[in-house]
Amino acid sequence: MLAHGEQMFLALDGFGLDATTRLDLQVMLFSHVQGLAAQLERETQAQATTGMSDDQWMARHGTALGALASSGHYPGFSALLTEFGEQGYDLELDKIFELGLRTILDGMAILLSEHASEPLTTPPDRSDAPAPAPRSRGR
């Protein structure tokens, strides 16, 4: 963790951020990466332990989730399930990782631009870069 943190500390140097904010940013970014990596590992272990695919797990537990949604105790969850309809929801941890990382980095860019003595440059458009290969889907 310190080796990766060191790279971030060096990158944040010169933006006028206090030590607490710099460390908080590093911990936040590391926690996002570590949290989703741990979730991916749990999903892999669950599949190995149960021998069930994501679809098989949902077939077994879907009725119970539907009962929870219909109970009236979870109106937000019920509304989500209604909106998903028959197609359901595929938990795609890679997609969630990218969304979280993009959100964190965009927020950091705003924070850094507020503290920078000179305007930050916009990174080059990477829309032509090849998409990463899909790895694993979680439940």
Sorted by where each begins, the domain ranges of the chain are 2-115
Nearest-10 crossing angle of helices 19-50, 93-115: 180
CB 138 within 8 A of CB 54: yes
Which stretch of 59-63, 105-109, 127-131 has the lowest confidence by average pLDDT?
127-131
Runs of H (alpha helix) within the chain: 2-12, 19-50, 54-70, 75-84, 93-115
* pLDDT tens-digit readout, 31-49: 999 999 999 899 889 899 9
pLDDT of residue 114: 87
pLDDT of residue 30: 94
pLDDT of residue 3: 82
N residues, the chain: 139
Q: What is the pTM of this model?
A: 0.71
